[in-house]
Structures are given as C-alpha cells and as structure tokens.
Amino acid sequence: MSGLRVTADKDTGVAVVTLDRPARLNAIDLALADELTAAWREFRYDDSVRAVVLTGAGERAFCTGIDRDVSVPQPGSPYMQDDPLLRVGPKANDLWKPVVAAVSGMACGGAFYLLGEAEFVVADETATFFDPHTTYGMVSAYESMLMAQRMPYGEAARIALMGTAERMSARRAYEVGLVSELTSPGGALAAATTCATVLAGYPPEAVQGTVRALWAGREAALAAAFAQAPALIALGNAPTGLQTELFRARRREHRTR
C-alpha cells in the first residue's frame, strides 16, 4: 500500500503531496522515502505542476520522522553514514518549484528534513514541533542544522536539546519565524493551497529562479555543516540497544510552550 498520495490540479498548477500513513503518524519508512524521491523528481518534468503543497494525512501528525521499525545498516566507519531521510526533500532532488508545507498536529525529528526544504510553513493551531533525539541518546545533527536556518539560534538550540520534555506550540513557532502563517484548526491545507495557487500563477521561470536564489543563500552553510554530521552522529549516538531502552522508558508527559 502506498504511503504517499499525490493529486494535481491542472487548472491551478498546484500539486498536493500527502504523507498518507496516519496510523503510523506519517512516519517515513523506506518505501515512503522512495516514493517522496520519485515524486519530487517527476515534478521536474511535469510543466503543468508549478507549485506544490506538502502535508500529512489525519489530524494527529504532519510527520514524526523515520519509522522506528526501519532498520538501516550502517558502515563501520564514522566518516560514512546511510541516512534515507537525506533524499526525501525537494531540494535534495533538484526540484526548484516552490513547496509550501501545511502542518497540523505533531511535526518532529525527521520531519525537519521536509520542513527545512520547504519555502515556507503554514500551520494550524494544533501543530506542535519537537525533536526527540537527545531523549533517546541520539545526536540531532541534520535536523538541528536545518532548523538553525529557520529560527533564532536559541530557539533552534532549545528545541534540539529539550527532547521530548517540551514541545513548541504553533503560536510560538509563528512568533519565532518557523511558521509564516497560523490558521484555525484544520485550516492549514487550504491556506497553504491558496499561497501555492498564487505562486503557480506567476511566470514559472521567475518563480523557480527566485527559489533557486533563496536556496543559494543557504546551501553553502548547510553543505559545510552537513559535512560534519556523520562524524558527530557516529561519535555521539548511544548504542542501538541503549537507544531502545531510552525510548521505552521515555516519559509521556511534556510541556508545550
């Protein structure tokens, strides 16, 4: 069963990409990672699609990162690492059509790979943002590097370090700039689609050139940071068994600020 739903409106030029694993809180398994890669690359050749909205199915979550049932064998060297989430975003697949993220419910951990490659984020009041890595004895590397370009350093540091003890509310995310528009519950998809429709109505070469220019202002810093991530993860991650123990022992209560 597909974990991705793609619909396109040829009249408006807007495609809606929906992570469609609500029973798993739209967590990304290897099949969904492949589907996302394929979708972004197909959009490169479909001139009828001029803007994209990315969202998650159901009310509980936009995306909760990589599915914990996924097993990804790793090389023994700290200088090499296989991370399937590095290829799930549009920029990683050379797509320079604008992507607007519509967030309801939880967006955490590996979801930041997707949010970090969207042009901007629209969220409803149910949205919360957090990064569980440190709670489970894991280094938040790529996620933190992406979020450090989306919000003030102190906010990026807090969300990365506080783990599951704390969640950033949609209101706070809007205040610090992670979210560009805040809607009533259930309204994020419609608001994001409205924005995408405007973008799709402009000359595509100008829009895509602007997207590429905006990313050019970020990618040099990201490339330098990403180059350090594998070693940081290899040095800082707890053994897999301890990660599992910490996950099982995690406290369910959390503060939302």
Domain count across the chain: 1
In terms of DSSP bridges, do strands 128-130 and 181-183 run parallel, antiparallel, or are they unpaired? Answer: unpaired
Q: Report whether pLDDT(1) > 70.
A: no
169 belongs to a structural domain: yes
211 belongs to a structural domain: no
249 belongs to a structural domain: no
Distance CA 51, CA 193 (A): 9
Distance CA 109, CA 113 (A): 8
**Average pLDDT of the chain to the nearest whole number:** 95
Chain centroid to CA 37: 13
CB 235 within 8 Å of CB 145: no
The CATH number of residue 93's host domain is 3.90.226.10
131 closest CA partner among 116, 119, 117, 147: 147
Q: Which domain holds residue 78?
A: 4-185
Q: Report whether pLDDT(167) > 90.
A: yes
- Partners of residue 100 on adjacent β-strands: 53, 120
Mean pLDDT value of segment 45-65: 97
254 belongs to a structural domain: no
Mean pLDDT value of segment 54-68: 96
253 belongs to a structural domain: no
Q: Which residues fall within 8 angstroms of residue 16, CB to CB, at 6 or more apart?
A: 6, 7, 8, 52, 53, 55, 189, 193
CB 55 within 8 Å of CB 103: yes
In the block, residue with structure tokens 């069963």? 1
164 belongs to a structural domain: yes
Distance CA 197, CA 42 (A): 20
Token duo for residue 142: 């790529």
Q: Which residues fall within 8 angstroms of residue 235, CB to CB, at 6 or more apart?
A: 78, 139
Mean pLDDT value of segment 165-169: 97
Q: Report whether pLDDT(71) > 90.
A: no
Q: Which value, in Å, is the radius of gyration of the alpha carbons in the chain?
A: 18
65 belongs to a structural domain: yes
256 belongs to a structural domain: no
pTM of this structure: 0.94
